[in-house]
Amino acid sequence: MRKVLVTIISHDRPGIIYQVSRALADNRVTVVEVSQTTLMGEFAGLFSCVMPAPADLDEFSRVLGRALEGTGLAHWVTDASGNGRSPDADHGRHEPYVVTVRGRDRPDIIPEFSGAMAGFDVNIDNLRAVARPPEAEGGDGGHQVLMFFELSVPQAVNQGAFRQALNLIAEDLGMEMSLQHRDVFEAIHRI
Amino acid sequence: MLTDREVVSTLEMLKNEHLDVRAITLGLSLMDCVSDDLGRLTAKILNKITHYAENLVKTCDRVGEKYGIPVVNKRIAVSPMSALAGPFSPEQMVRAAMVLDRAGREVGVDFVGGFSALVEKGFSKGDLALIKSIPQALAETGRVCSSVNVASSRDGINMDAVGLMGRIVKETARLTAGQEGLGCAKLVTFANIPPDMPFMAGAYLGLGEPDAVINVGVSGPGVVKKAVDRIMAETPRPNFDQISETIKRTAYKVTRVGELMGREVAARLDLPFGVVDLSLAPTPQVGDSVGEIFQSMGLKAIGVPGSTAVLALLNDAVKKGGAFASSHVGGLSGAFIPVSEDLGIGQAAENGYLNIEKLEALTSVCSVGLDMVSVPGDTSAATISALIADEMAIGMINHKTTAVRIIPVPGKKAGEKVHYGGLLGWAKVMDVADYAEAGDFIALGGRIPAPIHSLKN
């Protein structure tokens, strides 16, 4: 068996999942995990799959291309044999934290914060940015944004220094920032 | 993955709705400190408190930082002092209080509760000595809080103790006259006092409790008010079923925060976790008031007709939501209505919507009682005792905790304003029907028998 990752990009419309899954099944490829999202009418999907070994990835990509011809779906096939790090594998060595940033939108918010996170070897597991109405709390009439980064923070990271680094960036950018353990969000909202 | 709604809702609760953990209280038994030598007793007390509470404040702050939710107050509640300092005189009791104060100062907590006595059926020698020492003890200490349980549903009301407490309250006010009688803000008279309450001024550690335990008090009137405001803005307008459901869900969320953080503090200190007390404990800030919730539900102010019904709904919904959210709910768990500490209640009293008689009616369905009520400084001790007796009767008959924290403000008349400062807030001095005949009534003494526990039709 060989692990592959199939990436699909397209305008969002009904039938995408059917067309992709049909093409994969016809080639004896089994889907193991799927993550998909949509934004501004565009679809992006990641399909983690296993296929019979030995298999030629270039040949598989060509076959998949033919199967999806005329559908408008762009696809990429990559070897994922060395991937597959289970989130649980690092359990005990990382702590899940959430950084929320809100205020007036500007181009350098994500690079500034993500740069600091990378500097502390902190992985961003998920990033969401949500446009907020101009009258949102604390807003000055400009384009307001709320971003939240879901992070895996190594236990070895100096929490105080990490928090201070993020605070300094928030101050420089004129944003409001908070760093909280993820458990508090789940405790409040999930039974 | 978290959803936008979960993140935004949590942020709103923290930033705009004053969600916090109001108190983490280390309950500490001092029964193993008992000695017939005052020096040995106080040395053991100091040693035990400073040993167990050495890292309390630091740990609470670190856990608060981890979750982004502040732990506003860190406190200690100890065994009732009258039980462990039984052989001593009132003067010696004052010295014991000063040691509690010193221990609290050394570990950085803001209050130490448990300068207390349980006298619902009668006095021991230690109980009497402690009660007599209360005015001096509260005048000479800053952190020590005192409580006296004078009634219970099982034992009735000790009217001798009620009479004594009226005089103690007056004397406490006199000895702290330079601070508007502030000593009385640290003194509570109870019926059915809970043994695991984390909130001051009434917190103490009951005799059936563990040697050391972490109890948590969470608040959240602001969160409840905003939740009620949101549902009231919907079309069509909600009915009471829906409002109650909204409050329950909100209480659940708030309690979960306390449970999460309390358990972590307890684990870090290697102590057992006790209870979460979910009480709507207001502060004198806009948006952190129980009184404002009444206005959100359409009433002119707390105190007008309809208020008792609203408070009953509120108190019950808070208890139900809290009970579902925590494995162990304890303490008072409900809604507090402290007059000076709550901006909305204070304003209702100032504007004439709330008088002391209506306040007493409200206490029949709230979680505590007459709380932070300022009355004229010349109110007689007997009338204060009579007010206490009424409140104790409500608690005794209804099998609930009731309490009186009343301040006869020296030199002030009804209608004047008094500023206590900080979280204690400000208040209008309320008018009290003070008649000389109260003295005859209180002088009867003895006990009002416990109510019958059957034939409840």
Write out the two tokens for A98. 């959430």
Same domain, A94 and A156: yes
Cβ-proximal residues to B93 (8 Å cutoff; 6+ apart), any chain: B81, B85, B129, B130, B132, B133, B137
- Domain hosting B50: range is 19-191
Least confident of A143-147, B86-90, B311-315, B432-436: A143-147
Model pLDDT, residue A135 = 64
Model pLDDT, residue B82 = 95
Write out the two tokens for B49. 């408190």
Considering only CB atoms, which chain B residues are within 8 Å of A149? none
Least confident of A84-88, B74-78, B141-145: A84-88
**Domains: count for chain A:** 2
Model pLDDT, residue B291 = 92
* Selected residue with higher pLDDT from A51 and B55: B55
How near does any CA of chain A get to the CA of B218, in Å? 13
Give percent of chain A above pLDDT 70.
89
Question: DSSP class of residue B28?
Answer: E
Residue B5: closest C-alpha in chain A: A189
Residue B208 resides in a domain? no
| pTM score above 0.90 | no
A180 touches chain B (CB under 8 A): yes
Which tens digit of pLDDT belongs to each residue from B92-141? 999 999 999 999 999 999 999 999 999 999 999 999 999 999 999 999 99
Model pLDDT, residue B234 = 87
| pLDDT (average), residues B40-60 | 97
Q: Of the residues A79, A111, A146, which one is the last residue of a structural domain?
A: A79
Considering only CB atoms, which chain A residues are within 8 Å of B14? 178
Residue B13: closest C-alpha in chain A: A188
Residues A162 and A167: their CA atoms lie apart, in Å, by: 9
| pLDDT (average), residues A23-33 | 91
Q: How many CB atoms lie within 10 A of CB B347?
A: 17
A102 touches chain B (CB under 8 A): yes
Considering only CB atoms, which chain B residues are within 8 Å of A184? 10, 67-69, 257, 260
Same domain, A141 and A58: no
* Selected residue with higher pLDDT from B334 and A64: A64
Residue A84 resides in a domain? no
Residues A99 and A83: their CA atoms lie apart, in Å, by: 26
Same domain, A58 and A108: no
Same domain, A109 and A39: no
Look at A188 and B256 and tell me if their CB atoms are within 8 Å: yes
Model pLDDT, residue A81 = 81
State the pLDDT confidence band at A88, using cuts at 50, 70 and 90: very low
Residues B192 and B279: their CA atoms lie apart, in Å, by: 17
A183 touches chain B (CB under 8 A): yes
Which tens digit of pLDDT belongs to each residue from B358-408? 999 999 998 789 999 999 999 999 999 999 999 999 999 999 999 999 999
pLDDT over 60 at A86, yes or no: no
How near does any CA of chain A get to the CA of B316, in Å? 20
Same domain, A127 and A146: yes
Least confident of A54-68, B51-65, B289-303, B426-440: A54-68
Which tens digit of pLDDT belongs to each residue from B176-227? 999 999 999 999 999 999 999 899 999 999 999 999 999 999 888 888 998 9
Domain with B361 in it: what CATH number? 3.20.70.20
Q: Of the residues A79, A103, A128, which one is the last residue of a structural domain?
A: A79
pLDDT over 60 at A89, yes or no: no
Residue B250: closest C-alpha in chain A: A188
Residue A100: closest C-alpha in chain B: B7
Q: Of the residues B152, B175, B191, which one is the last residue of a structural domain?
A: B191
Look at B68 and A183 and tell me if their CB atoms are within 8 Å: no
Model pLDDT, residue B310 = 95
Considering only CB atoms, which chain B residues are within 8 Å of A128? 4, 7
Q: Which residues pair with B39 in a beta bridge?
A: none
pLDDT over 60 at A139, yes or no: no
Model pLDDT, residue A141 = 62
Considering only CB atoms, which chain B residues are within 8 Å of A146? 4, 7-8, 11
A137 touches chain B (CB under 8 A): yes
State the pLDDT confidence band at A136, using cuts at 50, 70 and 90: low
Question: DSSP class of residue B428?
Answer: E
Same domain, A51 and A119: no
Mutation target to probe the A interface, by most A beta carbons within 10 A, among B10, B58, B263, B326 is B10
Helix (H, G, I), strand (E, B) or coil at B86: coil
- Domain hosting A132: range is 89-189
